[in-house]
Amino acid sequence: MLLTIDIGNTNVTLGAYQGNNLCFTARLATDLRMTADQYAIALKDIVGLHGEDYRNIKNCIISSVVPIVGNAMECAVFLLCNIKPLTLSPGVKTGLNIKIDNPAQLGADLVAGAVGALGEYPLPCVIIDMGTASTISVLDKNGAFLGGVIAAGVKLTLKALATNTSQLPAININAPQSVIGTNTVDCMNSGLVYGTAAMIDGLLERIFGQLGEMATVVATGGLSKDIIKHCKCDIIYDETLLLKGLKKIYEKNN
């Protein structure tokens, strides 16, 4: 069994593959305070919760944008399974032609998402990942990674509103019935949901213009499923895109 682990700023996403079969996916909170021992216990419990035996995990790949948690997770996998995980970092073979100014600066999550999209979707392809940050990655018609966009994520924007204003509360994020809100909560939700959807539509229009052609658009992560339904552009939702990418990268290196 191959365990794929994507560590984001807010959540750790797990996926276990038996051959090409995705046995299960799971999430736990990214916690800088947890030790390797604690993460090992969490992994063992999650694998067991989904009816699998942790002793069947023979391989593992990790991508992380939180180095402290990434290191703890590497140690946790070794403690639990006695295997050294492959960590997605510069030098690991990905098959991705990266054309940004400094390829070593490209985040592991963006690499995994791009590799996941290659071979799965028609090119050119635009990948949207809505987590703590909302990112957009662009693959050209040859599959080269051209660059992208980084913006504050929906929940991060809400946190900024609630903590930096006197009268705006923390709220549950839901699309209001009307763009024009008639109370504070609906006004905030309109800005968060419809505002983010409008931003995505606007950025995609500009990206298509720069590419000189339309592109396949794929979204993953966090609130993507709830936001893209309000976009005017056609966007495919793929919940496990990064896990697919990690599986492909592991296979390229083994």
Residue limits of CATH 3.30.420.40 in the chain: 2-89, 121-237
Query: Is residue 6 flagged as an active site residue?
Result: no
Q: What is the mean pLDDT of residues 225-241?
A: 97
Name the percent of the chain lying above pLDDT 90: 98
Q: What is the pLDDT of residue 231?
A: 98
* Gap between the Cα atoms of 48 and 69, Å rounded: 22
Per the CB < 8 A criterion, the answer to whether 39 and 79 are in contact is no
Q: Assign 119 a pLDDT band (cuts: 50, 70, 90).
A: confident
CA dihedral sign of residues 138, 140, 145, 147: negative
For domain 121-237, give its CATH number from 3.40.1350.10, 3.30.420.40, 1.25.40.10, 3.40.50.2300: 3.30.420.40
Q: What is the pLDDT of residue 222?
A: 81
Q: What is the mean pLDDT of residues 216-227?
A: 94
Compute φ and ψ for 152, nearest 5 degrees: -65, 140
Q: What is the pLDDT of residues 126-168, one digit of tens each?
A: 999 999 999 999 999 999 999 999 999 999 999 999 999 999 9
The answer to whether residue 71 scores a pLDDT higher than 90 is yes
- Count CB neighbours of 254 within 10 A: 10
**HSE toward the beta carbon, residue 108, CA cutoff 13 A:** 24
Q: What is the pLDDT of residue 239?
A: 95
Domain 2-89, what fold?
Nucleotidyltransferase; domain 5 (3.30.420)
The answer to whether residue 31 scores a pLDDT higher than 90 is yes
Q: Assign 245 a pLDDT band (cuts: 50, 70, 90).
A: very high
The answer to whether residue 247 scores a pLDDT higher than 90 is yes
Per the CB < 8 A criterion, the answer to whether 192 and 174 are in contact is no
> From the candidates 6, 31, 109, 238, which is the catalytic residue?
109
* Gap between the Cα atoms of 36 and 229, Å rounded: 39
**HSE toward the beta carbon, residue 51, CA cutoff 13 A:** 2
The answer to whether residue 70 scores a pLDDT higher than 90 is yes
- Report pTM: 0.94
